[in-house]
């Protein structure tokens, strides 16, 4: 990614200081510190999912959701911390809780319409009934 110039960084900083919703969707915000406005951001040495500001030391989560691939940013109010596992919750609802994580195949926002494994008309067929009895 192109390094940000100071002017762009300052604009982003001012914008997202007031309105934090949307930080996750702004790729530039990976390199702007929301505490001091610095653009000297490095990967966190101890945690691959965190970034750290080299100017003020503020560290924040920013990583792709393992379930849907969307960016999770700990500074974004739409990515709150989970009370159960302590990880950030993606807008798709996934966090580190095994029960809360949607199946990997599921696409981001729209849950698939309910589809029974057996079509309705075959469920009542004599053969299907027979199989049910056998079991
Ligand atoms: Zn900073
Ligand atoms: Zn997700
Ligand atoms: Zn959780």
Q: In the chain, what are the domain boundaries?
A: 6-111
Question: Between 51 and 126, whose confidence is greater?
Answer: 51
Q: Tell me what pLDDT residue 102 has.
A: 53
The rounded Å distance from CA 81 to ligand 3 centre is 8
How far is CA 83 from each of CA 41, 53, 97, 100, 112, rounded to the nearest angstrom? 28, 26, 10, 12, 27
Per-residue pLDDT tens digits for 26-62: 999 999 999 999 999 999 999 999 999 999 999 999 9
The rounded Å distance from CA 39 to ligand 2 centre is 26
pLDDT band at 107 (very low <50, low <70, confident <90, very high): very low
Q: Is the pTM here over 0.85, yes or no?
A: no
Rounded CA-CA distance 41/13 in Å is 14
User: Kind and range of the H or E element at 53?
Assistant: strand 50-53
- First CA to last CA distance, the chain: 59
With a cut of 70, say whether residue 88 has pLDDT above it. yes
Rounded CA-CA distance 40/33 in Å is 8
């Amino acid at each position: 990614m192109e390094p940000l110039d100071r002017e762009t960084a300052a604009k982003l900083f001012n914008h997202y200081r007031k309105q934090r919703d949307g930080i996750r969707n702004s790729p530039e915000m990976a390199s702007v510190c929301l505490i001091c406005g610095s653009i000297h951001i490095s990967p966190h040495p101890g945690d691959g999912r965190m970034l750290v500001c080299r100017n003020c030391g503020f560290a924040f989560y920013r990583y792709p959701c393992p379930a849907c691939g969307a960016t999770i940013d700990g500074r974004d109010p739409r990515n709150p911390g989970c009370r159960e596992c302590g990880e950030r919750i993606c807008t798709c609802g996934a966090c580190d809780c095994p029960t809360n994580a949607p199946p990997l195949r599921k696409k981001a926002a729209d849950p698939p319409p309910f589809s029974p494994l057996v079509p309705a008309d075959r469920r009542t067929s004599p053969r299907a009934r027979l199989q049910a009895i056998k079991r």
